[in-house]
Amino acid sequence: MSEDAEIVLVVDDTPQNIDILSNVLRSDFKVKAALNGQKALEIARKEPRPNIILLDIMMPEMDGFEVCKQLKDDPDTAAIPIVFITAMSDAEDETHGLELGAVDYINKPINPAVVLSRVKTHLHIAAQQRAIADKEALLRMALDNMPGAMWVVDRDSKLVMANDQYKEFYGDTNNIVRPGTSIEAILRQEAEAGRLGQQGSVSEIVGQRLESYRSGVEASFEDLTRDGHNIRLTRRPTDAGFVVSIATDITEVKEKEAQLRKAFTIISESIQYASRIQRSVLPTDAEMSATFEDYFSIWEPKDMVGGDVYLLRPCDRGTLLMVADCTGHGVPGAFMSMIATGSLDLALIENPSGDPAALLGRINRLVKTTLGQEGRDGESDDGFECGLCLLDRSGKTMTYAGARFELWEIKDGEMTAIKGDKPGVGYRRTAIDQAYTNHEIDVSSTAMYYLFTDGLTDQPGGPKRRAFGKNRLKSNLLDYYPMQLTKQEVHLMREFEEYQHKEERRDDVTFLGFVPRAITDV
């Protein structure tokens, strides 16, 4: 064990239990122990702090629930993952423990291998969360230390973010400058306060500024700060559909214009780089060709990045194909797609056989605990719908499990929809112990299979501006079924794009058609 090994604090009033857990963990971690809650709090609050705490509940004087509450109320210890290990097996106790902030709940008697695997998993998740938080803090620090104000507006003309300098320049009389607010309401507030340097009525000025957001071209204005300084506002659309605005004080430093151009370049390149990162997790053509006799794959995010993702992963029994549709699109959806990807990989560590139903159950728990959505109440309620196929090495059988997701099979000109379970993955309304169902499928040489997200079927279009719909998709698939899948793709997307016509794309679109092949080990 290395000197910088992570620290596990074991808290139990029974020395024998501490010995059992210590023996399980000692080869991989530094183990500290406490026989009561007060001693546990003392150890947790001293440097070096434990990286994770395994906490019994039934202890004299101070039970584990109270220890957990005090740790989570203390900013210095709130981020330490807590895993309850207890003989209290009632669902109410488990729910209470998770609502207090624990990341997991293990019943005694323990399985040593399971405990070790879960400790490693939660430490890995905690490390990822720290890395994300560090990057977010660096980004916020960079934005708030810019020499001027910066804000971003999305395709729906709603504010995505604004740094602190924005209010220094334009003010916020009605306290409405926050993500999700209509930019029209913010512009009206600025115009009524005399901050926008244009002539005309409030309605005329707001209309002109709104047009600058919607025109798709770069725009520039000169405005007034609250203390009368002249500022130059430059507004530029990005390839992803966002509009980035930067305002700089030009009363004394007109040379800041050069820095504005540099800032725009950095922002544009960052968004494009984020798109490349997301695309890099998708399977390559070589990986798809090695897995399928014939296939097509369509992945079209609504913006430059999105919430749809499809993945291939090897497992003991063959290959896993996952298609997921995460809440949101654009940047929020992309974050969720990374959580979906990481949760699948972590679940596979614990279930390397690749059982789809078991994986979905574990992924659901991981997403809920990662997002703090174990209870019914809270600000967020995010997750995803997905389909998970285990393609047997022989290419003759396939196991499917879905969460609000269907697998379509066409065989000998007949369509069959294999439906997944109704609960999605990770949402507050989905039980933390939700069980999913496997469907065993005999793969025929004449069969073709399809997975798609609802961005395809929900897209409005046509003369009545109605959704493309499953019936229309089914009819198109049956029309083109005799063709190779690569040819089907051309015809199907032509039908879809002609139906969409001039309508704005509403959501990310992912559409896969495939015929499994036998896997040959190299």
- For residue 460, being part of any structural domain is answered with yes
Instruction: Tell me if 406 sits within 8 A of 439, measured CB to CB.
Output: no
Asked if residue 298 and residue 200 are part of one domain, the reply reads no
Asked if residue 498 and residue 391 are part of one domain, the reply reads yes
Spell out the per-residue pLDDT of the chain, length 522, in tens. 567 889 999 999 999 999 989 998 988 899 999 999 999 999 999 999 999 999 999 998 899 999 999 999 999 999 999 999 988 989 999 999 999 999 999 999 989 888 899 999 999 998 888 887 777 777 667 666 677 888 889 988 899 888 878 877 788 888 888 889 999 998 888 888 887 777 788 888 888 888 888 888 888 888 877 777 788 888 888 888 888 888 888 776 544 445 556 766 766 676 677 778 878 889 999 999 999 999 999 999 988 888 899 999 999 999 999 999 999 777 788 888 899 899 999 999 999 999 999 999 999 999 999 888 987 777 788 999 999 999 999 889 999 999 999 999 999 889 999 999 999 999 999 999 999 999 999 998 889 999 999 999 999 999 999 999 999 999 999 999 989 999 999 999 999 999 999 999 999 999 999 999 876 653
- For residue 388, being part of any structural domain is answered with yes
Asked if residue 113 and residue 45 are part of one domain, the reply reads yes
Among the candidates 120, 142, 164, a domain finishes at 142
- For residue 25, being part of any structural domain is answered with yes
- For residue 2, being part of any structural domain is answered with no
Asked if residue 386 and residue 506 are part of one domain, the reply reads yes
Distance CA 128, CA 513 (A): 33
Q: Name 399's Cβ contacts closer than 8 Å, sequence gap at least 6.
A: 355, 356, 389, 390, 392, 438, 439, 440, 441
- For residue 430, being part of any structural domain is answered with yes
- For residue 442, being part of any structural domain is answered with yes
CATH of the domain at 90: 3.40.50.2300
Q: What is the pLDDT of residue 257?
A: 45
3-state secondary structure of 301: coil
- For residue 491, being part of any structural domain is answered with yes
Q: What is the pLDDT of residue 132?
A: 79
CATH of the domain at 155: 3.30.450.20
The structural domain count of the chain equals 3
Asked if residue 268 and residue 291 are part of one domain, the reply reads no
Asked if residue 355 and residue 290 are part of one domain, the reply reads yes
Q: What is the pLDDT of residue 460?
A: 94
3-state secondary structure of 411: strand
Asked if residue 488 and residue 367 are part of one domain, the reply reads yes
Asked if residue 243 and residue 123 are part of one domain, the reply reads no
Among the candidates 275, 292, 308, a domain finishes at 275
CA-to-CA dists, residue 490 to 123, 191, 471, angstroms: 46, 50, 19
CATH of the domain at 468: 3.60.40.10
Distance CA 251, CA 148 (A): 13
Q: What is the pLDDT of residue 238?
A: 87
Q: What is the pLDDT of residue 140?
A: 65
Write down the pTM of the prediction. Answer: 0.52
DSSP state letter for 505: P
Asked if residue 179 and residue 37 are part of one domain, the reply reads no
- For residue 521, being part of any structural domain is answered with no
Q: What is the pLDDT of residue 265?
A: 72
Q: Name 163's Cβ contacts closer than 8 Å, sequence gap at least 6.
A: 143, 144, 146, 149, 150, 151
Asked if residue 121 and residue 221 are part of one domain, the reply reads no
Asked if residue 224 and residue 343 are part of one domain, the reply reads no
Among the candidates 260, 275, 290, a domain finishes at 275
Asked if residue 116 and residue 51 are part of one domain, the reply reads yes
Domain range for 382 is: 281-516
Distance CA 216, CA 23 (A): 63
